Amino acid sequence: MSDLTGKAALVTGASRGIGAAIATRLAERGADVAITYAQSKERADEVVDRIAAQGGRGLAVKADSGDAGEVVSGVEQAVDKFGRLDILVNNAGIFPFGPIDDVPLDEIDRTLAIHVRAVYVASQAAVRHMSKGARIISIGSNLAERVPFPGVTLYSMSKSALIGFTKGLARDLGDRGITVNLVQPGSTNTDMNPADADGADEQRALTALGHFADAGNIADSVAFLAGPGATNITGAVLTVDGGTNA
Question: Looking at the annotation, which residues are catalytic?
Answer: 155
Alpha helices in the chain (DSSP H): 17-28, 41-53, 68-82, 105-112, 118-127, 153-173, 200-206, 215-226
Judge contact between 166 and 235, C-beta under 8 A: yes
65 to each of 18, 36, 56, 60, 72, how far by Cα in Å? 16, 9, 25, 14, 9
Spatial distance between the Cα atoms of 115 and 109, rounded to a whole number of angstroms: 10
Q: Which residues contact 182 (CB under 8 A, 6 or more apart)?
A: 137, 138, 139, 140, 162, 163, 166, 236, 237, 238
Measure the N-to-C terminal CA separation of the chain; round to a whole number of Å.
31
192 to each of 9, 18, 49, 105, 144, how far by Cα in Å? 24, 10, 22, 22, 18
Spatial distance between the Cα atoms of 11 and 47, rounded to a whole number of angstroms: 11
